[in-house]
Amino acid sequence: MSLKGIIFIATSLSCFALPVKADLVMLSGYDSYITSAVNNYVTGDEKTETIKTIPKSGWITPELDGLTNTVFYTFDTGHFEISFPNQLRNYSPKSGVNIQGQIYFTTTVDQESTLQGSYNTFSILSDEVILVGYLHDLTAGESLFENMQWSVTDNANLVFGGNVGNRSSFLSGNLINQLFKGHVYRFMFNVGASNPESYPDFFTGNGSISLSLIPVPVPISFLLFSCGLGFIASISTRNHACRNGAHKKAGD
């Protein structure tokens, strides 16, 4: 078989063997947003920052009376994530920090996705701590994942998929779900902590929430087939070069 024939077969088969890359697409015309807020319940003051037209990445960080709530966000072709490395309540009585939002999206091909979420807090005294995540398939009218954990504690370590909370908690669905091309999905989240009492309390918190498409690996059979074609092609090229060399000698 000629080298051109081998390359043609390899190219043609690769079109069928390789998986199609999936993308997450943020949907316009829906109420997607991310809000970060800090509240001083004594004075009634509140500072919030909200972003509705979510670009590929950015950050918001409201600050008020020793309260800080920094949020970084990323939305790319296969991944959405918010991270909050710096929640701080610096001895502020009756105060709170909160992050909430939702995104509406679809996917370009059928593909599985995975959810991850964590919230870690430390406080001198007990705080109300909450971690919430919902994933709904609006096209099919189905709930794929619902998780709420609400506790009063001085140290919290909450993760999506857990079912702990001395105030309230529930869990249904799965962290890994099959998404379908063209379906409209809504991913909602809420995370925060508050000290409703009048005593001062030092608090720090951090964590992240994400939704990601699970990459489809290239089948090992395709890789072996490609290696075999490459080996055959190299032999064919070497034999072709040898024949050309032989012809040159004969001509001389």
Average pLDDT value over all residues in the chain:
84
Residue showing tokens 């720090």:
204
- For residues 184 and 239, membership in a common domain is answered with no
pLDDT in tens, 178-212: 999 999 999 999 999 998 776 777 889 999 999 99
- For residues 124 and 168, membership in a common domain is answered with yes
- For residues 14 and 108, membership in a common domain is answered with no
Q: Is residue 201 within 8 Å of residue 121, measured between CB atoms?
A: no
Percent above pLDDT 90 for the chain: 58
Burial of 160 (0-12, 13-18, 19+ CB in 10 A): buried
Over residues 50-79, the mean pLDDT reads: 92
- For residues 14 and 79, membership in a common domain is answered with no
- For residues 135 and 236, membership in a common domain is answered with no
Measure CA of the first residue to CA of the last residue in the chain; give whole Å: 28
- For residues 125 and 11, membership in a common domain is answered with no
134 vs 246, which has greater pLDDT?
A: 134
Structural domain containing residue 223:
3-18+218-251
Tokens standing for residue 6: 């081998």
- For residues 159 and 247, membership in a common domain is answered with no
- For residues 104 and 39, membership in a common domain is answered with yes
Q: How far apart are CA 89 and CA 145, in angstroms?
A: 31
- For residues 40 and 13, membership in a common domain is answered with no
Q: Is residue 113 within 8 Å of residue 177, measured between CB atoms?
A: yes
pLDDT for residue 168 is more than 50: yes
Going by pLDDT thresholds of 50, 70 and 90, the confidence category of residue 66 is confident
When divided into structural domains, the chain yields a total of 2
- For residues 77 and 175, membership in a common domain is answered with yes
pLDDT in tens, 85-98: 989 987 667 889 99
pLDDT in tens, 10-35: 555 444 445 567 899 999 999 999 99
pLDDT in tens, 138-154: 999 999 999 999 999 98
- For residues 138 and 34, membership in a common domain is answered with yes
**Residues 58-89, buried b or exposed e (16+ Cβ, 10 A)?**
eebebebeebbbbbbbbbeebebbbbbeebbb
Q: State the pLDDT at residue 65.
A: 85
Going by pLDDT thresholds of 50, 70 and 90, the confidence category of residue 223 is very low
Q: How far apart are CA 100 and CA 110, in angstroms?
A: 28
Over residues 72-90, the mean pLDDT reads: 93
Which residues are CB-neighbours of 232 under 8 A, at least 6 positions away? Answer: 1, 6
- For residues 87 and 156, membership in a common domain is answered with yes
Percent above pLDDT 70 for the chain: 76
Q: How far apart are CA 147 and CA 135, in angstroms?
A: 9
Q: State the pLDDT at residue 70.
A: 95
